Amino acid sequence: MEKTNSQKSPDPNDDGKSYVDPSMSTFKVDYILEIGEKVVVTERGYNPSDTFVIVKVHPGNKYELKRVSDDQMAPNYVDKAYIQRVV
C-alpha cells in the first residue's frame, strides 16, 4: 500500500497570515435611537459640528431632528444611516 502526501505544496505568494474580507462579515451591530437623544448628521448638506435632538421617529428609519443651538427643525427627515450618537 502506497502512502500519499495530503499536504499542499507551499504557495510562494502565501505569507502565512489569514485574512478576512470585511464585506463578507455577517456580524452587525444595530442600535436603537430614541427621542430626545443628541446626535450629529453626516449627510451632505449638514454641518458636522451641529448637534441635533431626535424629535420624532418615522417609518423606514427616518428621523425628525431639531438643532440644539437654535431649536430650528432640520429641513427634511434624516435616514438612520447618516445619524451618529453624540458621546
Q: What is the pLDDT along the chain (87 residues), one digit of tens a residue?
A: 555 555 555 666 666 665 556 555 565 556 789 999 999 999 999 999 999 999 999 999 999 999 999 999 999 999 999 999 998
If one counts the domains in the chain, the total is 1
Determine how many CB atoms are found less than 10 A away from the CB of residue 69.
9
Burial of 86 from C-beta contacts in 10 A (0-12 / 13-18 / 19+) = exposed
44 found inside a domain: yes
β-pairing, 52-58 vs 78-79, is unpaired
Q: State how beta strands 62-67 and 83-85 pair.
A: unpaired
| Domain-located, residue 1 | no
Asked, for residue 7, whether it belongs to a domain, the answer is no
- By residue range, what is the domain housing residue 58? 30-85
Question: Domain for residue 70, yes or no?
Answer: yes
* Spatial contact of 65 and 21, defined as CB atoms under 8 Å apart: no
What count of Cα atoms within 13 Å lies in the side-chain half-sphere of residue 17? 3
The CATH number of whichever domain residue 46 belongs to comes to 2.30.30.30
